[in-house]
Amino acid sequence: MSDTVSAERWTEVPLAPPDAIFQLTAAFKADTHPNKVNLGVGAYRDDNSKPWVLPVVKKATEILVNDPALDHEYLPITGLPEYTSAAARLVFGSDSPVITEERVTSVQTISGTGANHLGALFLSRFYHWNDKRVFVSDPTWVNHHQIFPLVDIPVSTYPYYDPQTIGLAFPAFLDTLKKATPRSVFLLHACAHNPTGVDPTREQWGEIADVMLEKGHFAFFDSAYQGFASGDLDNDAWAVREFVRRNVPLLVCQSFAKNAGLYGERVGALHVVSPSKEAAVRIKSQLSVLARSEISNPPAHGARLVSLILNTPELFEQWKRDVKTMSGRIIEMRKELHRLLTEELKTPGNWDHIVNQIGMFSFTGISPAQSKALVESAHIYLTSNGRISMAGLNKHNIRYFAESLDKAVRGQL
């Protein structure tokens, strides 16, 4: 009698916990309360809580779909060349030496997530580590904690958010940079830090660069909000360009989800800065191998849209106006929320951080218990750490949110 071999039944596969943000969104959708507010989603909404298709994207789409030469052939493995080159010029500046000297390797990715993954995979394979780990801010975008271990890079954190000041824990951050093993990799948010909305000042960025150079550290920039933060594309790229100017070794993960409203098109890029044109060629050859093994070729539609916008002067100017529309509305919401809390409601505490923070998200500084009270009693959906998406506020719901927040702080919910 022969032994019977049992087939795989997957009985020992554990059930993974649900994603907190998507779980929050599902709860919001199921809620029938007339005043419910969703402050959890990381996507722009207009003043009527609706998704906003940028006017420039509509124009570019019309041009694209009416192009008689349009086809659906494969793109090159590393992406649409006119897109990746324009994306590099956008983040580094068209007159940057790394552009003019052809020292940037640019590869199209599946949005910023794909750029983070490909950048991490490349470092895992080719970076000369003294201590194989990546340092990420505490807190950071939750996906960073999943992307790096997936390619065998452990994650450590550096102090970033100070709950006492509801601002940057700069001395502790700098101290970690100084004490880290030489040639360590630090993941830095280029602007509009997610989830806190707290960014270093230019002077602080300079001090960070000083230590990075002194210790031989590598900067892994995540740039998901260029233009979306301040409304100025060049201003939001300042930290990256300053690090390039000072020759800090770096790469940049770039996304057009937020600043072009192309969330579902997954348009991103990875840019690796090299010391020479020859090194850039070698790096591109390896990134091509890695990309080929995972996605073969990137999707075309979103890249063609962004390429049209970046390479057509008229569309580019329209895009800059659209970006200002989005960032401007969020800045106005910050100002109005601050006014309501400080002037009208006189909510206990200092609320200046609301206007001092930047970008889509704000750390309110409230406790998990107060956040829970807002969800359960006021039907205002936010994460337990008090982070809110400013894009979820508008002229119709901001007073309700401010009054509910005031009650939560006073313990009256």
> Is 393 in a helix, a strand, or coil?
coil
Q: Kindly report the CA angle at 91 between 88 and 95, in degrees rounded to 5?
A: 75
Rounded to whole angstroms, the Cα distance separating 409 from 73 reads: 57
For residues 379 and 37, the answer to whether their CB atoms sit within 8 Å is yes
Catalytic residue check, 238: no
Q: State CA 403 to chain mean position distance.
A: 30
> Is 4 in a helix, a strand, or coil?
coil
Catalytic residue check, 258: yes
Residue tagged active-site, from 59, 258, 284, 407:
258
Burial class (CB in 10 A: 0-12, 13-18, 19+), 277: exposed
The one-character DSSP state at 348 is S
Residue tagged active-site, from 36, 52, 222, 319:
222
Longest CA–CA span in the chain (Å) reads: 86
Residue tagged active-site, from 36, 59, 141, 319:
141
Q: Are strands 361-363 and 387-389 parallel, antiparallel or unpaired?
A: antiparallel
Q: Name the nearest CA neighbour of 271 among 289, 245, 244.
A: 244
CA distances from 269 to 95, 111, 287, 374 (A): 19, 7, 12, 38
* Residue 67 phi, psi (nearest 5): -80, 115
Rounded to whole angstroms, the Cα distance separating 78 from 84 reads: 9
Q: Are strands 218-223 and 250-255 parallel, antiparallel or unpaired?
A: parallel
Catalytic residue check, 132: no
CA distances from 254 to 271, 323, 371, 385 (A): 8, 16, 31, 26
> Is 384 in a helix, a strand, or coil?
coil
CA distances from 81 to 84, 98, 366 (A): 5, 17, 46
Active-site amino acid positions: 141, 222, 258
